[in-house]
Amino acid sequence: MNPRPIIAYDPARPAALVDPFGRAISYLRVSVTDRCDFRCVYCMSEHMEFLPRRDLLTLEELDRLCTAFIERGTRKLRITGGEPLMRRDISSLFRRLSRHLASGLLDELTLTTNGSQLERHAPALADCGVKRVNVSLDTLDPERFRALTRTGDHARVLAGIEAALAAGLQVKLNAVALKGVNETEVVELTRFAHERGMDMTFIEVMPLGEIDGAERIDQYLPLSNVRERLAECFTLTEIDYRSGGPARYMRVAETGGRVGFITPLSHNFCESCNRVRVTCTGTLFMCLGQEDAADLRAPLRDDPSDASLHAAIDAAIARKPKGHDFVIDRESRAPAVARHMSTTGG
């Protein structure tokens, strides 16, 4: 396929971002730090080397970058990490970005977090117009949680969830399905979420980055297995609800709540992909499961007019691939992508 022609950026009439397969790019995930206070066994090595702080985009640069995408049709913006709430003065970035909610250019400003810092930040996030947050919680067992995260405090995460709910935020729980680890908890996790008015989403483990002491094929649990286990206790009905991301949802009749499934391996969702990701260093990945990327930091810093930034974005979107190359099997021992999820943005 010939690449889509790149049209010069016109600030008076900014063109929408559309990839070579006709998919409009309306969802941007931006990492503000690669640092995290957890070391989850499926995500990173125990002894991580994080980026020098000088390599990270400043909060002002992150604001410019997000604004450029919003001018080009981004309607949903998710702040990620690492653990994004570890970034110093992160609330000031949310305050800046909230102007796009007020103007109507942005439909949603949201966040993915491990919950460790959420108790402290929840009221400020609500004040900035954040309506929803995703919190990662793979288990309800404190000892298992400690083993999975290596450093995490289970009680602190639960307190963060309660603080978010008290602040009026809608919370969705995310759990990575891990074979032989938390597969017996999927019913309990779903009940826990629905009793508190939260959606519950299960995610297949993704082959990103080298991890210590385990192979991903030994961690991988197809979500078809999770769905079967849930169906033993619940009546599940497919629904059309979408949150803007890749999850496919079902209604649980017994609780009235929703349960989502993100299946990058057993049933990928590439055909409807409307997302791109930017790392905390300003690297744009057009696909989570591909290595092709574009540097947005240089045009940000070299051209205060943002014309070079928009040109770089256009060139990158023009080569967004049709789908990812994720695979987990005994023959593919190396990760599909060498970078860790915390580097790309969770």
3-state secondary structure of 291: coil
pLDDT at 293 (0 to 100): 94
Q: Does position 96 have pLDDT exceeding 80, yes or no? A: yes
Task: Tell me if 40 is assigned to a ligand binding site.
Answer: yes
Of 212-226, 233-247, 269-283, least confident by mean pLDDT is 212-226
Task: Tell me if 29 is assigned to a ligand binding site.
Answer: yes
Of 42-56, 80-94, 137-151, 256-270, least confident by mean pLDDT is 256-270
pLDDT at 209 (0 to 100): 44
Q: ∠ CA 90-155-163 to the nearest 5 degrees?
A: 50
Radius of gyration, CA atoms only, the chain: 20
Task: Tell me if 229 is assigned to a ligand binding site.
Answer: no
Task: Tell me if 91 is assigned to a ligand binding site.
Answer: no
Q: Does position 108 have pLDDT exceeding 90, yes or no? A: yes
Q: What are 178's strand-pairing partners?
A: 220
Other Cβ atoms closer than 10 A to 206: 24
**DSSP code, position 55:** G
pLDDT at 267 (0 to 100): 54
DSSP state letters, 127-165: HTT--EEEEE---S-HHHHHHHHSS--HHHHHHHHHHHH
Task: Tell me if 179 is assigned to a ligand binding site.
Answer: no
- Residue 75 CB partners (closer than 8 Å, separation 6+): 26, 27, 106, 107, 108
Strand 132-136, strand 236-238: pairing? unpaired
Percent of the chain with pLDDT over 90: 73
- Euclidean distance between CA atoms 70 and 308, whole angstroms: 16
* Res. 271 pLDDT band, cuts 50 70 90: confident
Which domains, and CATH codes, for the chain?
Answer: 27-344 (3.20.20.70)
8 A C-beta contact, residue 209 and residue 44: yes
Structure confidence by residue, pLDDT tens digits, 253-263: 999 999 999 98
Other Cβ atoms closer than 10 A to 319: 15
Task: Tell me if 273 is assigned to a ligand binding site.
Answer: yes
- Range from 87-96, 204-213, 314-323 that averages highest in pLDDT: 87-96
Task: Tell me if 327 is assigned to a ligand binding site.
Answer: no
- Residue 206 CB partners (closer than 8 Å, separation 6+): 264, 265, 288, 289, 326, 341
Q: Does position 71 have pLDDT exceeding 60, yes or no? A: yes
Average pLDDT on 163-189 reads: 96
8 A C-beta contact, residue 271 and residue 22: no
Tokens of 105: 């250019």
* Res. 53 pLDDT band, cuts 50 70 90: confident
8 A C-beta contact, residue 143 and residue 123: no
Give which of 147, 155, 31 is closest to 83, Cα–Cα: 31
Task: Tell me if 287 is assigned to a ligand binding site.
Answer: yes
Q: How far is CA 319 from CA 19, 277, 341, in A?
A: 7, 14, 22
Average pLDDT on 13-20 reads: 91
Task: Tell me if 87 is assigned to a ligand binding site.
Answer: no
Task: Tell me if 206 is assigned to a ligand binding site.
Answer: yes
pLDDT at 323 (0 to 100): 73
> Higher-confidence residue: 158 or 270?
158
**123, containing H or E segment:** helix 118-127
Other Cβ atoms closer than 10 A to 22: 7
Q: Does position 44 have pLDDT exceeding 60, yes or no? A: yes
Task: Tell me if 112 is assigned to a ligand binding site.
Answer: yes
* Res. 95 pLDDT band, cuts 50 70 90: very high
Task: Tell me if 276 is assigned to a ligand binding site.
Answer: yes
8 A C-beta contact, residue 220 and residue 205: yes
Task: Tell me if 156 is assigned to a ligand binding site.
Answer: no
Q: ∠ CA 206-83-166 to the nearest 5 degrees?
A: 110
pLDDT at 346 (0 to 100): 57
pLDDT at 218 (0 to 100): 72
pLDDT at 16 (0 to 100): 94
Q: Does position 328 have pLDDT exceeding 70, yes or no? A: no
Task: Tell me if 96 is assigned to a ligand binding site.
Answer: no
> Higher-confidence residue: 330 or 343?
343
Average pLDDT on 39-56 reads: 87
Structure confidence by residue, pLDDT tens digits, 277-303: 999 999 999 987 778 899 999 999 999
